Amino acid sequence: MTHSRLTGQPQPERSEPEQHRHMSEEQPTYDPKAVPADAPSDGTATTESVPTQTQTQTLPMPPQATPPTSGRAGRTVVLLGAAVLLAGTSGLTGALLTSQLMDTPTATSSASAVPDLDRSSLAALVAKVQPTVVSIKTGSGEGSGVVIDGKGDVLTNNHVVATANGDTVTVTSSHGDSTRATIVGTDPRSDLAVVRVADRTGLTAAVFGDSDATRVGDSVLALGSPLGLEGSVTAGIVSAKDRTIQVGGEQNGSPVSSISGMIQTDAAVNPGNSGGALVDLNGKVIGINSAIATSGNSNGNIGVGFAIPSNTAERVAGELIAGKQVAHPYLGVSVGDADGGALVQSVAGGSPADRAGLRAGDLITKLGDRTIGDADALVAAVQGGEVGDRLAVTYTRNGVSKHATVTLAESPTQ
């Protein structure tokens, strides 16, 4: 994923081709009741790859893609970190990705220990959490990160460190102290990475909360280094949960894939906020800020930001720190939206879907205990499972309802 944002310090100039790279991305048909645009079912419309039949759109980096004129309006999602940019007063927002927002209501916790918003207490809260957030510079861009333990491990977005030269980056604490950090591991599919600093002076480990317990309407703060402005804090609420967005693309050599379960917030986030913390009013991290939706010709914040849930971020970080390859569940079908379900466009040979007897033209309407209303619902259902899960699948073929059992496998392409 390529990214761009205005950094706080002059960055090396890039050639014009680098500044205006394009990325091809597939988008499912825009349906008024459709969920975020995704499509691979591996949850992918191959859950990791995006459907190839219903969509291919090239999005230039600086001008924004024009939203579809029919069906549900589309959004452009901009990754917030590591930017390729030039000196001057404006930067290029990078890795433009199209995402359709889901209308499907999501289950939320009925109770929350998060206190009501009291503006008079925000200063104390900010003072508590700021030392847990750092700035990350790669030499050609900048993003943010969250300190996750006492060993100097810092969690950030994969697209923040993707532009690093070699395996090191520079980490700057909230006190202004800078030190080198080594990239411990990356997982492009979840857009997460971990770096480790040798000098832990001035770093404080964040406390992670339970993202599943957050409720729509809960107050949150977003911390990071937007546009190179280190130590910035903005306030907002959790606007929605379980959004699906697409990440990846030819700009960073990885296939377009989908991330489901994202937290949507109206707290102002901008390029450079990637990898920073989204915290609740208890000062606990509930998300890692990663992308924003934009519209028109603006690449800046319009009040629609997305964060990777803390539960997902903690799990992936733990695997990366342990030196493991992050396992992603895989179904092996490419799907598009259709009335009442996810329409199978192709089935990968030897995949779980193939072994279960699914074919192109089948309409998947249920997976496990989840009703499937469109392609993104299938993506979310698969990504919500684990490798080895045996799930009942209900589908319609030639007007006849059929049932089968699939065993999710580990994605063959990491």
pLDDT at residue 86, rounded to an integer: 18
Integer Cα distance of 387 and 392 in angstroms: 15
Q: Name the CATH architecture for the domain at 1-21+61-323.
A: Beta Barrel (2.40)
Integer Cα distance of 209 and 218 in angstroms: 13
Give the bridge partners for 230, in sequence order. Answer: none
Integer Cα distance of 282 and 299 in angstroms: 31
298 is catalytic: no
Integer Cα distance of 278 and 259 in angstroms: 17
pLDDT at residue 396, rounded to an integer: 96
Mean pLDDT by 10 residues, the chain (414 residues): 32 36 30 33 40 30 29 47 27 28 32 54 90 93 94 95 90 92 93 92 92 96 92 95 76 67 95 95 96 76 93 95 91 92 95 96 96 92 91 96 95 71
CA neighbours closer than 13 Å in the CB half-sphere of residue 142: 27
DSSP string, 128-173: HHGGGEEEEE-SS-EEEEEE-STT-EEEE-HHHHTT-STTEEEEE-
CB atoms within 10 A of CB 302: 15
Amino acid at 382: V
133: tokens are: 């957030």
Contacts of 70 (CB under 8 A, 6+ apart): 30
CA torsion, ordered 241, 244, 250, 251, to nearest 10 deg: -20
pLDDT at residue 113, rounded to an integer: 53
The answer to whether 14 touches 86, Cβ cutoff 8 Å, is yes
Environment class of 361 (CB within 10 Å of its CB; exposed 0-12, middle 13-18, buried 19+): middle
The answer to whether 346 touches 359, Cβ cutoff 8 Å, is no
pLDDT at residue 117, rounded to an integer: 53
pLDDT at residue 122, rounded to an integer: 87
Intervals of CATH 2.30.42.10 along the chain: 29-57+331-414
DSSP 8: S
Mapping DSSP onto H, E and C, the string for 323-344 reads CCCCCCEECCEEEEEECCEEEE
Rounded to the nearest angstrom, the gap between the alpha carbon of residue 41 and the centroid of all alpha carbons in its chain is 16
Integer Cα distance of 281 and 234 in angstroms: 13
**Cα distance from N-terminal residue to C-terminal residue, the chain:** 15
Strand, coil or helix: what is 278? strand
Intervals of CATH 2.40.10.120 along the chain: 1-21+61-323
Integer Cα distance of 22 and 226 in angstroms: 23
The answer to whether 7 touches 13, Cβ cutoff 8 Å, is no
Integer Cα distance of 289 and 131 in angstroms: 17
**Phi/psi of residue 383, nearest 5 degrees:** -65, -20
The answer to whether 276 touches 50, Cβ cutoff 8 Å, is no
191 is catalytic: yes
pLDDT at residue 135, rounded to an integer: 95
Task: Describe the chain by its helix, strand, coil percentages, rounded to 5.
Answer: 15, 35, 50
From the list 31, 49, 135, 159, the catalytic residue is 159
The answer to whether 275 touches 171, Cβ cutoff 8 Å, is no
Integer Cα distance of 277 and 123 in angstroms: 16
pLDDT at residue 24, rounded to an integer: 27
198: tokens are: 């040798």
Parallel, antiparallel or unpaired: strands 363-367 and 341-347: antiparallel
- Name the CA radius of gyration of the chain, rounded: 20
159 is catalytic: yes
**Phi/psi of residue 50, nearest 5 degrees:** -100, 155
CATH 2.30.42.10 for domain 29-57+331-414, yes or no, is yes
**What is the tally of helices (H) and strands (E) in the chain?**
6, 25
From the list 274, 334, 351, 411, the catalytic residue is 274
From the list 31, 38, 191, 376, the catalytic residue is 191
Q: Which of 29, 21, 28, 14 is nearest to 59 (CA)?
A: 21
The answer to whether 383 touches 43, Cβ cutoff 8 Å, is yes
